[in-house]
Amino acid sequence: MTGPAFQLQSVSKRYGATEAVRSVSLSAARGECVALLGHNGAGKTTLIKLMLGLTDRDSGSVSVLGADPRTHAAIAIRGRIGFLPENVAFHGTMTGREVLAFYARLKGVALAECEPLLDRVGLVEAGAHRLKTYSKGMRQRLGLAQALLGQPQLMVLDEPTTGLDPLLRRRFYEIVRELREGGTTVVLSSHMLTELEARTDRAVILRNGRVVADGGLSELRRAAGLPAHVHIRVAQGPPADVVARVGGAELMQVNGRTASFTCPIDQKIPVLRRLADPALAVEDFDIELPTLEEVYAHFSEREDSPCGPS
């Protein structure tokens, strides 16, 4: 596959009086992992439906793996797309193996793929049990297995770690990493921002149907103008005096020999160099950069111009 895994250009979608998606342009490269973020009603689900061909746009163009998902040409690419919805619904009287075999036939995939996938998501022993006996986490893992059928080139995952315990969430992200290394493009829609921070290449933040931010975390930190937080412990003297000598810092708190202050994020390296000066007698320091959650809160609450390509 050449070109972007998917590309939306000036796409809009309205449901009655509600404009769910407003002139959105968005694309992702092969092997890229994109976090799709936004509050409930921001347009995430509609964008996913547009990419999967489950609904049609009112204007603009959509291309997924080189084809328009709402045309006859999309038949050839549907088998190369994996999708895990937020709410997984399977027939309770079927066993895990029966469900996976059903989706394999539906997708035109060899049944020989099913057993290795059950093993990959840790459901080999439970594969003979009926779905009505499965926990929410087990159903979620089975949903992931069906999304992995056919070695997809594009994976769309909507709240994929719902119901998974910490160990299973870790295994899930290992699978995501393996997919990316194999060249699969991954779109993750989730409210679990701390999980996504170190596991995605880009964050796309939606607000009221528009893209208000699009970029890597370091890029979005700079665009947001959020400060870095620095904590120091000094060997002697008032720590506030050390902060004053650092320059460009805003003192936030002093407690004994420790102090906390903020500095512009583009000044963190010069600040750290000054703190390393032996004359300041700094015993230890830590720096906290703005988290994805803080960046998300900044852009999702703003009403002004978008950041990055939109």
Q: Would you say 63 and 1 are in contact if contact means Cβ atoms under 8 Å apart?
A: no
Q: Are residues 75 and 159 in the same domain?
A: yes
Residue 34 lies inside a defined structural domain of this protein: yes
The per-residue pLDDT for range 62-93, each reduced to its tens digit, is 999 999 998 888 888 888 999 999 888 899 99
Q: Are residues 35 and 159 in the same domain?
A: yes
CA–CA separation, 282 vs 161, rounded Å?
A: 42
Q: Are residues 194 and 282 in the same domain?
A: no
User: How many other CB atoms sit within 10 Å of the CB of residue 176?
Assistant: 20
pTM: 0.87
- Residue 280, domain extent: 227-289
Q: What is the CA radius of gyration of the chain?
A: 24
Q: Are residues 156 and 208 in the same domain?
A: yes
Residue 90 lies inside a defined structural domain of this protein: no
Residue 258 lies inside a defined structural domain of this protein: yes
CA–CA separation, 82 vs 65, rounded Å?
A: 12
Q: What is the CATH number of the domain that holds 166?
A: 3.40.50.300
Q: Are residues 179 and 64 in the same domain?
A: yes
Q: Are residues 14 and 30 in the same domain?
A: yes
Q: Is residue 310 pLDDT above 70, yes or no?
A: no
Helix pair angle (166-181, 136-148), 10° resolution: 10
Residue 1 binned pLDDT confidence (cut-offs 50, 70, 90): low
Tokens 């342009």: give the residue: 25
Give the whole-number percent of the chain exceeding pLDDT 90. 79
Residue 73 lies inside a defined structural domain of this protein: yes
Q: Are residues 217 and 232 in the same domain?
A: no
Residue 302 binned pLDDT confidence (cut-offs 50, 70, 90): low
Q: Are residues 188 and 241 in the same domain?
A: no
Q: Which range has the top average pLDDT, 53-57, 165-169, 300-304?
A: 53-57
Q: Is residue 308 pLDDT above 80, yes or no?
A: no
**DSSP characters over 279-305:** GG-EEEEEEEPPPHHHHHHHHHH--S-
Q: What is the CATH number of the domain that holds 240?
A: 3.30.70
Q: 156: closest CA among 204, 86, 96, 226?
A: 86
CA–CA separation, 207 vs 213, rounded Å?
A: 9
Q: Is residue 42 pLDDT above 60, yes or no?
A: yes
Residue 304 lies inside a defined structural domain of this protein: no
Q: Are residues 191 and 239 in the same domain?
A: no
Residue 21 lies inside a defined structural domain of this protein: yes
Residue 48 lies inside a defined structural domain of this protein: yes
Q: Are residues 203 and 165 in the same domain?
A: yes
Average pLDDT over residues 228-238: 93
The per-residue pLDDT for range 238-296, each reduced to its tens digit, is 999 999 998 888 999 999 999 999 999 999 999 999 999 998 999 999 999 999 999 99
Both tokens assigned to 143: 């949903």
Number of domains in the chain: 2
DSSP 112: G
Q: Is residue 146 pLDDT above 70, yes or no?
A: yes
What is the chain's mean pLDDT, rounded? 91
Residue 282 lies inside a defined structural domain of this protein: yes
Q: Are residues 231 and 207 in the same domain?
A: no
Q: Are residues 284 and 156 in the same domain?
A: no
Q: Would you say 146 and 103 are in contact if contact means Cβ atoms under 8 Å apart?
A: yes
**The predicted structure's pLDDT at residue 309:** 42
